[in-house]
Amino acid sequence: MDDSVYVDPVGKGEGLALWWSNTVSMLVLSSGKIFIDTMVSIWGEEDWFITFIYSSPYADEKQTFWESLASLRSNSSDKWCVIGDSNMVTTPEEKLGGAPFDVFAAKWFYNFMDISCLLELPIKGGTFTWSNHRNEDETILEKLDRILISLEWSSSFPKAVGVLDATIASYHAPIFLLLKGMNKKYKKYFKFEAKWILEDECTD
């Protein structure tokens, strides 16, 4: 039997849901509107931590979010993975269209990364994970969704990779965390990038 945990939404926003198979040993340590923190064991490996996040999109709440997340792990040697919606653009290259890149807002993310001794796991399949699904001059593309890992976690899963899949009904593209890396059984689908419509050669 599979297990699950839910955090009810506030109006039409926020809310989290997590499901896992009975082949996975998972213990929910804490949950709230901004994250679900768990301890997990797979394939008989030593227990490690994975935290699923939804960061607030509001600038005045970002500091509180990243400081709260950092407080979950006080030991930098923990095997920790953080995955989900950071609602944060960290460099100008992670954004196309819309308001200019906000350097000040990104500082809370970098503070968290330094304090927690985490690295960002590269995601294959595209640069942007979110789109407003509008056309031409109104198109906005951003990298909001991330996988963050500790060095200790990386040593246990050295072949791990993130893979961006095609967007179906959401503004966000799904992200798969493949602990054993890519293999021949993983099908790579063609993905249309919304930014292509901005190129002159694609509209002639």
Mean pLDDT by 10 residues, the chain (204 residues): 73 77 91 92 88 90 93 87 95 92 89 95 92 84 96 94 82 91 60 49 48
Given this model, what pLDDT does residue 1 score?
Answer: 45
CATH classification of the domain holding 151: 3.60.10.10
Given this model, what pLDDT does residue 197 score?
Answer: 45
Neighbours of 165 (CB within 10 A): 14
How many domains does the chain contain in total? Answer: 1
Given this model, what pLDDT does residue 203 score?
Answer: 46
Domain that holds residue 131: 3-202
180 near 42, Cβ under 8 Å? Answer: no
Given this model, what pLDDT does residue 14 score?
Answer: 65
Rg of the chain in Å (alpha carbons): 18
Q: Which residue pairs from 64-69 have beta carbons closer than 8 angstroms and sit at least 24 positions apart in sequence?
A: 65/34, 65/108, 66/108, 66/109, 66/111, 66/112, 67/108, 67/112, 68/34, 68/35, 69/34, 69/35, 69/112, 69/116
